[in-house]
Amino acid sequence: MTPRLLRLAYQLQHHTIGEWSLSRWGVTAGLAAAGSILLRWFLRGMPPTPAWHWGILVVIVMAAFGLAYLRHWAGRQMYVIFVADASAAEPAARPLAPTDKISVHATGQFEVEGKTRFFADLLAYWRTFASREHAVLAIVHRSRFMLVGSVAERTLGMWYVFFTPAMIEAVTPGTVAFGAAQRPALRVAYRFTPPAQGRKPAIPVTRRVCLAFADAASRAQVWADLLADG
């Protein structure tokens, strides 16, 4: 149930109408409807109102605040359920060739041309260049949700995650659940230094990217590649 709820929360946040996400529209519409009901009641001189009218109002308000809480909670979970597996057998270190690429479903902060955006369960490819810099390369396509929501134009196209061996803090094997899918996974924590803003010094932060694989063999290939960093 929880992975499906997280997937729903992501779809509501990822798809938009105009400049607002579907989740923001839902919260705003719910609170606006509740405010409109109360305003009409007040302007009519606050007449006696059947209990079921108040029940509807309570349901609308609870739905709006519930959706707001879901958006906040799901975002903190990165919209996925990652369960570490300490018993997973560590493969022997073996670097990938620069021409190799492994299909993954990636969750984390992606960047392109100075822009940063979070994506969950995004189909991507893992590659390691001759310099040993690691990359997660993805492309965001058009999609629709609930017939009215669509992916914003500004998010379409290529997005990337890059990090070097020196930036890696931890690699944790486990499984990732997103919606109905549960896959073998690796969670990579790495140190990221954002661009300095004016005179303020750049403060390094820890980012995490979850890589979900079609099978354990694919996970072992990427894990062995990371172990080859020494």
pLDDT digits (tens, 9 = 90+) for 116-170: 999 999 999 999 999 999 999 999 999 999 999 999 999 999 999 999 999 999 9
Three-class secondary structure of residue 194 per DSSP = coil
Are the CB atoms for 207 and 190 separated by under 8 Å? yes
Instruction: Please determine, for residue 1, whether its predicted confidence score (pLDDT) is greater than 80.
Output: no
Per-residue exposure over 28-47, b if at least 16 CB sit within 10 Å of its own CB, e if not: eebbebbeebeeeeeeeeee
Three-class secondary structure of residue 168 per DSSP = strand
Predicted TM-score (pTM) of the model is 0.90
* Architecture of the domain defined by 81-227: Roll (2.30)
Three-class secondary structure of residue 76 per DSSP = helix
Instruction: Please determine, for residue 216, whether its predicted confidence score (pLDDT) is greater than 90.
Output: yes
Are the CB atoms for 16 and 153 separated by under 8 Å? no
**Block residue for tokens 């500004």:** 154
| pLDDT bracket for residue 229 (50, 70, 90) | very high
CA distance 83 to 74: 16
